[in-house]
Amino acid sequence: MFLCRFFFRFPKIEDIISARISSIWTHATRDDVEWTEEKLKEAEEKVRNNSSQPLDENLRNEYEQKAGEYWDKFYESHTNRFFKDRHWLFTEFPELRSSSPGNLTNDKAQLYPGSESDFRIFEVGCGVGNTVFPLLDSLKNTSTFVYACDFSDVAVNLVKEHKEYDQERCLAFQADISASELNFPFPKRSLDVILMIFVLSALEPVKMQNCINQLSSYLKPGGRILFRDYGRFDMAQLRFKKNRCLGENFYVRGDGTRVYFFTQDELRSLFTKAGFVEEQNIEDKRLLVNRGRQLTMYRVWMQCKYRKKTDETEE
C-alpha cells in the first residue's frame, strides 16, 4: 500500500478536506485508469446538476474584482500549512534540469536580475514556494536563476521570508497574469522555461488566451511552458454543490477562490493559437480506493508541454 502522488498548486478547502480524509484511508492506487461509459455518464450528470443554478452576474463580477483579496485571505489563514514541496517535478518535467539555454536573443549586457545566468525558469503562481525551493535545491550547482510570481502579496512575502530564499538565485514578486498587459522584471525573449502548475484554472476563462499569448513573448525561441492543472470531471468538480457555478466548468469555492476544469482540446487550442508546438498533452487519471469501506475517488489532471516555435516556418 502506498499513497497516491498529489500535484496541487494550492490545497484549497475542498482539497484540504480530501487530503485529510485520504490520510486515514488504506489506499490502493491505479494510474491512467479508463472510465467506463457508466462512470462517464454519472460524472456528466453530476456536472449538469451542480451547474444548473449558476450565480448571478453581480456575484460573478464580485468574485472577479475581489480575487486578490480572497487569495490573500487564503494565505493569511493557511500560511505554509498543508503544502508539500513538489519533489516530483524533475520526474514529470526533466526539462527543468537542462543546462543548455534556448536561442539567446537578448543581450547579456542588458542588466536585470538573473541576466548573468545561463538558464532561467519562471514559475507563474508560485504560492508559498513549494516549487521554488525544490528547484533551488536541485539546481544549486548550475547557472540557473528562478523567477516566481503570485497574485497574492501574502504568498510572495512568505516566499521571501523563507530561510532558503536567495536573492542571488531567485526573485519573487507580485503579478496579476490576468491583466491585459504584463510587465515583468526581465525582458521579453529571455526565459528558457515557464512553469504553470494549478494556476491557469484560477483565471476567468475569457482571460486565459491573452495570458498565454503574453507569457509566450517572454520565452526564447525554443523555450517551453510546462503545465499541470485540473481536468474535466476531476473529483473536485463533481463534489461542487449548486449555487457555486460561475460559468461552464468554472466554479467558486467556499473560500472565494475559483477553479476551472480543462479538456485536452481546450488546452491544445490555447497553446497552439499562441504559437506553440505540442510536445505533450495528456489526461492523467488516477483512482484512489478504500478497500475496507469499498469507496473510490477519481482524480483527473492535465499535463502538457508546449515549445515556442524557433521561427515562423516551423510547424
- Digit-coded pLDDT (tens) for 37-54: 998 999 999 999 999 988
- Produce one character per residue of 137-154: b if its CB has 16 or more CB atoms within 10 Å, e if not: eebeeeebbbbbbbbbeb
pTM score, two decimals? 0.85
Residue 202 in grid coordinates: 484560477
Distance, in Å, from the CA atom of 121 to the CA atom of 67, rounded to the nearest integer, reads 26
Strands 276-290 and 27-31: antiparallel
pLDDT of 171 higher than 80: yes
- Which pLDDT value is given to residue 295? 72
What residue ranges in 170-269 does DSSP mark as E strands?
Answer: 170-174, 191-197, 219-230, 245-247, 250-252, 258-260
- In this predicted model, what pLDDT tens digit does every residue of 208-231 receive, in sequence order? 999 999 999 999 999 999 999 999
pLDDT of 277 higher than 60: yes
Residue 13 in grid coordinates: 478547502
**Phi, psi at 274, each rounded to 5°:** -90, 5
In this prediction, residues 275-297 reach a mean pLDDT of 85
pLDDT of 5 higher than 80: no
- Which pLDDT value is given to residue 17? 40
pLDDT of 14 higher than 50: no
For 70, what's the count of Cα atoms within 13 Å in the CB-facing half-sphere? Answer: 18
pLDDT of 3 higher than 60: no
The whole-angstrom distance between residue 244's C-alpha and the CA centroid of its chain comes to 21
pLDDT of 156 higher than 50: yes
Q: pLDDT band at residue 183, thresholds of 50, 70 and 90?
A: very high
Q: Are 192 and 220 in contact (CB under 8 A)?
A: yes
Distance, in Å, from the CA atom of 205 to the CA atom of 259, rounded to the nearest integer, reads 10
CB atoms within 10 A of CB 99: 11
pLDDT of 290 higher than 80: no
Q: Are 277 and 310 in contact (CB under 8 A)?
A: no
Q: Order across the sheet with 144-150: list the strands.
A: 27-31, 276-290, 295-308, 219-230, 191-197, 119-124, 144-150, 170-174
Percent of the chain whose predicted confidence (pLDDT) is above 90: 62
Answer with the residue of higher pLDDT: 55 or 196. 196
Mean pLDDT lowest among 18-32, 71-85, 258-272, 292-306: 18-32
The secondary structure of the chain in percent helix, strand, coil, rounded to multiples of 5, reads 30, 25, 40
Query: Across the chain, what does the average pLDDT equal?
Result: 84
Strands 191-197 and 219-230: parallel
- Which pLDDT value is given to residue 33? 75
In this prediction, residues 155-182 reach a mean pLDDT of 95
In this prediction, residues 131-141 reach a mean pLDDT of 92
